[in-house]
Amino acid sequence: MKIAVLPGDGIGKEIVAQAVRVLRRLGLPLELAEAPVGGAGYEAAGDPLPAATLVLAREADAILFGAIGGPQYDALPRDQRPERGLLRLRKELGLFANLRPAQVFADLAQASSLRPELVAGLDVLIVRELTGDIYFGEPRGITTLANGEREGVNTMRYRESEIRRIARVAFEAARRRGKRLCSVDKANVLETTELWRQVVSELGKDYADVQLSHMYVDNCAMQLVRNPKQFDVIVTGNLFGDILSDEASMLTGSIGMLPSASLDERGKGLYEPIHGSAPDIAGKGLANPLATILSAAMMLRYSLGHVAEADRIEGAVRKVLRQGLRTADIYTDGCRKVGTQEMGDAVVAAL
């Protein structure tokens, strides 16, 4: 199995190095090859997505990504900025399915803005469609009407093939988890999502082992803060998913803990922590590597078919947290504060 390792900028290098150590510890036949992206790509080849990096990413079975960006690149022309590297990579590889788990490890429940008993043990996966919906639908724009008043237009569009392929990803994910899928729409008001509900229901017949339910997006936003543990997997469109996945990630209270995946039609994916390159702590050995280590676990589960090894990594992270080890971002009184390397050491030892 070939893995493209793209550490990127800032803390990217530090956290990816720890995830790579964890992967190597598993003893699987993994071929890891590293390449620059983002600001590092610009420095190496004058391009945030150098041609050689794109080739490596295309040929790989999966991509482990760190983070990109930094203040030193903010003055570059737009197409040379680090962010363009990631956006182009997603587009070039056709990564249409965004998987964002919001997990609260029991020992970190105090970090949430909700009461600990509401979130302790929370494990929700949000599957968001990433390349369609009102963000891309035509017609769009701001025009001036005959009477001189301005009007803004965006168009919510989904083809049934687009709905079916994201729903399939979600059903497959539910199958590997708690076997419950909640599809989120606004079918009472929006025809686009009425079609969404029909297509998801039709596909549900192929997944008799997965319990399918439907929920309106306004209710879902409420239920996520009322009783988030009721959910296993949520699938929704680009717009609703954008909002709900940010809401769900904040339930956990810790940006340094959350992994994500973006998948293509064949299940190949790019795996990355949801946080950025944290220039304020870069190079200081302070960054929390756990989101990246958990991203590596997702890679094993969703792209490489090694579910048992993914479970092992997640178990090792749980164990380390239970031992009271904390990087500064998740530190609370009475725990032992550790740096990036020591946290990596502990996960490797727990494995």
Catalytic status, residue 186: yes
Q: Judged by CB, which is closer to ligand NAD: 110, or 188?
A: 110
Q: Judged by CB, which is closer to ligand NAD: 19, or 212?
A: 19
| Residue 318: both structure tokens together | 């749980």
Angle between helices 51-59 and 82-92 (to 10 degrees): 40
Among residues 2, 79, 206, 246, the one annotated as catalytic is: 246
Q: Judged by CB, which is closer to ligand NAD: 206, or 280?
A: 280
CA 326, 327, 329, 335 torsion-angle sign: positive
Catalytic status, residue 9: no
Catalytic status, residue 135: yes
User: What sections of the chain are H helices per DSSP?
Assistant: 12-25, 39-45, 51-59, 82-92, 116-119, 160-175, 191-204, 217-226, 238-252, 290-302, 307-322, 340-350
Using CB under 6 A, list all residues that contact ligand NAD: 11, 15, 67-70, 83, 86, 255-256, 272, 275-281, 287-288, 291, 327, 329
Q: Judged by CB, which is closer to ligand NAD: 210, or 325?
A: 325
Provide the minimum distance between the beta carbon of 127 and ligand NAD in the complex, in angstroms, as a whole number: 18
Q: Judged by CB, which is closer to ligand NAD: 236, or 249?
A: 249
Provide the minimum distance between the beta carbon of 1 and ligand NAD in the complex, in angstroms, as a whole number: 24
For 43-52, which contacts have Cβ atoms below 8 Å and span 24 or more sequence positions?
46/80, 47/80, 47/85, 48/80, 48/81, 48/82, 48/83, 48/84, 48/85, 48/86, 48/88, 49/84, 49/85, 49/88, 49/89, 49/92
Catalytic status, residue 205: no
Between vectors from CA 228 to CA 220 and to CA 102, what angle results, nearest 5°? 100
Provide the minimum distance between the beta carbon of 260 and ligand NAD in the complex, in angstroms, as a whole number: 9
Among residues 185, 186, 207, 271, the one annotated as catalytic is: 186
Contact 147, 180 (CB under 8 A): no
Among residues 123, 135, 264, 319, the one annotated as catalytic is: 135
DSSP per position, 54-105: HHHHHHSSEEEEEE---GGGTTS-GGGSHHHHHHHHHHHTT--EEEEEEE--
Among residues 2, 79, 206, 218, the one annotated as catalytic is: 218
Contact 334, 324 (CB under 8 A): yes
Provide the minimum distance between the beta carbon of 42 and ligand NAD in the complex, in angstroms, as a whole number: 13
- From residue 294, alpha-carbon distances to 220, 273, 311, 320 in Å are 26, 8, 10, 13
Provide the minimum distance between the beta carbon of 273 and ligand NAD in the complex, in angstroms, as a whole number: 6
Residue owning tokens 């988890």: 177
| Residue 209: both structure tokens together | 């082992």
Provide the minimum distance between the beta carbon of 167 and ligand NAD in the complex, in angstroms, as a whole number: 26
Q: Judged by CB, which is closer to ligand NAD: 114, or 274?
A: 274
Residues with a catalytic annotation lie at 135, 186, 218, 242, 246
